[in-house]
Amino acid sequence: MRLRAVVAALAMAAAAVAAAGGGAAQITIIPLPVEPGFYVADLDWAGPDRLVLATSRGLEFLDLNDGRLESFVGAEPLPRGIRDPHGVACDGRRVLAYSLRHHALAAWDLGTGERIFALRKPPGHMIADVALFAGGIAILGYPRGPDGRMDNPAGVAVWAGPLSADMSRLWPLHMLRDGAAAARRFEWALWPLGGALAVMGDGSLCVASTAEAGVFCYGTGGRLRRELGRGLHRLVGRGLERAFGELAGDPVARYVQIVNRQPWVDGLVAGADGPSLVVRLVEDGVVHWELWTPGPGETTRRLRLPLEVRSPTAKLRGEAREGRFAGVFSRKDGPGGTNRWFVAVFDLSTLGGDGP
């Protein structure tokens, strides 16, 4: 199947989903390069019509007007570049990225491209997500001992500190609220299934971990401002230890036997009125996503995104900005076909509301 046909098929599927929901949803699907080994792990907004992507080629900008990619940081070892980035964050002034495979964490100035710091083997931290918060850095993850196991008796889930290579200056921001059971789950709440961070328009930081129910938002001074969705126990990851233990070498089985049997948090995004969870759901082998706005107990709204992918391991990594949600996903042409990557941009105001 040619690339144009793939995009047309995706657009028709999106239109069908929108029609089923009674709306005229606006979605733009941008195909990414088709080359051996190419992938996209994450993205963030780098401007009104520009995204920064964490790809197999390093960090790249995507222009949403013409679909062109431009290299920002190459796939070279630190400190010249970053290889195999798993996550990226951008606050409009700086870009932060990390690689689990190469134990790398680095930041650059968005405007000049100058490196702020580059850290090989961040001491002791297993990272599930990162954010630029309060002029510094926030990490969803946990410290590890010499044996590689979690060394986190206090149950800290999020660490914050200055944007520097000195990880010893990080301080605990968010503690797990659901006791010893949540702490045990958190050890196995690994990327890309461990949860997400999102910075709101007012600068506060929100966290959602698959180890516990709820979304927790902190002000720039580190004080807890809001607890939302504490009744969303169905989003707590079940079977994480088996997913990353017994099934560690079989990602398809991990999804089929564990992840696809419940709603799963694929991300957390900033909306006009606060955070929204990007929730992954599977029906008859087809994956779709919804934005769940958490309330005092469970949700105040659920908004279905007009995108469906028939793949047991499909994920949607994305961010929202000014009424638009951009996410990256992949699909195959067919059994044994080429895995192709796409960026989808949704106009949230056309999905039956004013965004999350």
Among residues 122, 148, 120, which one has the least CA distance to residue 137?
122
- More confidently predicted of 11 and 188: 188
Closest residue by Cα to residue 356 from 281, 297, 279, 303? 303
Mean pLDDT of 204-217: 97
| Separation between Cα atoms, residue 56 and residue 341, nearest integer Å | 12
The pLDDT value given to residue 32: 97
Taking CA 119 as the corner, what is the angle to CA 113 and CA 121, rounded to the nearest 5 degrees? 145
Q: Give yes or no for a contact between 85 and 176, defined as CB atoms under 8 angstroms apart.
A: no
- The string of DSSP codes covering 248-277 is TT-HHHHHHHTGGGS-EEEEEEEETTEEEE
Rounded to 10 degrees, what is the CA torsion of 202, 197, 300, 177?
-110
Q: Among 51-55, 66-70, 271-275, which stretch is predicted with the lowest mean pLDDT?
A: 271-275
Of the listed ranges 9-23, 200-214, 294-308, the one predicted with least confidence: 9-23
In-domain check, residue 11: yes
Instruction: Note whether 305 and 328 are within 8 A (CB).
Output: no
Residue that wins the pLDDT comparison between 127 and 153: 127
Strand order in the sheet with 215-218: 195-199, 205-209, 215-218, 224-228
Determine the pLDDT at residue 121: 67
Q: Is residue 287 part of a domain?
A: yes
| Cβ(218)–Cβ(234) below 8 Å | no
pLDDT tens digits, one per residue of 62-89: 999 999 999 999 999 999 999 999 999 9
| Mean pLDDT along residues 98-118 | 94
Answer whether residue 329 is part of any domain: yes
Residue 159 counted as domain residue = yes
| Contact (Cβ atoms closer than 8 angstroms) between residue 28 and residue 344 | yes
Residue 333 lies in a domain: yes
d(CA 78, CA 91): 22
For residue 111, tell me if it sits in a domain. Answer: no
239: left (phi over 0), alpha (psi -120 to 50) or beta: left
Find which of 70-84, 150-164, 243-257 is predicted with most confidence, using mean pLDDT.
70-84
* pLDDT at 352 > cutoff 80: no
Does 185 map to a domain? yes
- Establish whether the linkage from the previous residue to 192 is cis, with ω within 30° of 0: yes
pLDDT at residue number 115: 96
pLDDT digits (tens, 9 = 90+) for 312-350: 999 999 999 999 999 999 998 766 778 899 999 999 988
The confidence score (pLDDT) of residue 155 equals 83
pLDDT of 2 above 60: no
- Is the pLDDT score of 161 beyond 50? yes
* Domain boundaries, position 227: 3-31+122-350
Helix (H) or strand (E) segment spanning residue 8 = helix 3-20
Report angle CA 29, 34, 37 to the nearest 5 degrees. 120
Task: Return the percentage of the chain with pLDDT > 70, whole number.
Answer: 88
In a domain, 73, yes or no: no
Is the separation of the CB atoms in 316 and 303 below 8 Å?
no
pLDDT greater than 50 at residue 267: yes
Query: Whole-structure pTM over 0.85, yes or no?
Result: yes
The number of distinct structural domains making up the chain is 1
